Amino acid sequence: MSNYKKILVAVDLSDESQIVAKKAQAIADGGSAQLDVIHVIEPLSFAYGVDIPMDFSGLQEEIQTQATQQLTRFAEQNGISATHQHVVLGRPEVEIHAMAEQIGADLIVVGSHGRYGLALLMGSTANGVLHGATCDVLAVRVGD
């Protein structure tokens, strides 16, 4: 039986997200916990730099629309209501921490590819979530 009451599941909407969601659902079912899901979209300016003199707003809006639709389908498949679905713009680890605080999560569940060495140092979202969280974090191994 789980002592967790509010669980935040962070997903990238890849096929592997189902593995993460199923693990979180098993924990939630064990203790009747509330399940929220978050997907974070990184602004295009993060990827391409802020000095590029291009307007990404139309493309960014389309990405947000597509992500919202995908998250809605994902959440419906996993029994997560619309009021517990969150699509936000920003740096994943920062936004996941902020949402966990906002909803009062006592567990964050995130996928991890089990990277090590240089790949881990160069930016694992799971690692970033783990090291800044104020609640428990479960990193579910996915992929390779």
Domain residue spans of the chain: 6-141
What SS3 state is found at 41?
Answer: strand
Q: For residues 35 and 24, what is the distance between their CA atoms, to the nearest angstrom? A: 8
What SS3 state is found at 136?
Answer: strand
In one-letter notation, the amino acid at residue 32 is S
Mind listing the pLDDT tens digit for each residue in 73-132? 999 999 999 999 999 999 999 999 999 999 999 999 999 876 555 444 445 788 888 888
**Which homologous superfamily does the CATH classification assign to the domain defined by 6-141?**
HUPs (3.40.50.620)
H-only helix segments in 84-124: 92-103, 118-121
Q: For residues 119 and 65, what is the distance between their CA atoms, to the nearest angstrom? A: 30
